[in-house]
Copies of this chain bind each other. A is one copy, B any other.
Amino acid sequence: MLCVAGLILPSLWPAAGYAEDKDVLDYRMHIMHTLNEQSAALGLILSGAIPETNGAAHMEAIALTASTALKAFEPKVRGGEAKAEVWTNWPDFSKRMNEFARLTREAAKVAKEQGFGAAGPIIVDALTCKSCHEVYRQEKKK
């Protein structure tokens, strides 16, 4: 049985399209949160706090999720933690996001084929989150 609220179809669908916008926002936040959770798990491994058994799988999950992220920003729905610059600078934003997907895919490949230990430096280079967040994210206070 699926365990997420997302599966329950709304019985009332507001005419003004709010529900659709909310779905778009929720969807992209689920993707960005996944990147955050998996990067944090990987960070614990890279820092030596957790054994590296799952390292390559985390890197693969990040690469997969990175490949889904740009699509989630295509609808021009402002809000969440995205700055307006995501859409006003779309050529730069989409170029960076595609580069992020490419670099993480490459790091996942190295981790899978040559072992997680060998992939350390390429993993660190691939996770360019901060440089994009500085320009395109307005972090909400928890």
Contact = CB atoms under 8 A, between A and B. Distances in A.
Chain A interface mostly helix, strand, loop or mixed? helix
Contacts of A24: 50
A133 interface: yes
A15 interface: no
A94 interface: no
A16 to B, nearest CB: 16
Please tell me how many copies of the chain the complex holds: 2
Q: Which of A1, A31, A38 has the most CB of B within 10 A?
A: A38
Given A3-B127, A23-B44, 17 more contacts: A1-B128, A1-B129, A1-B130, A2-B124, A2-B127, A3-B39, A6-B42, A6-B43, A20-B49, A23-B50, A27-B49, A34-B34, A53-B71, A54-B68, A54-B72, A58-B68, A64-B64
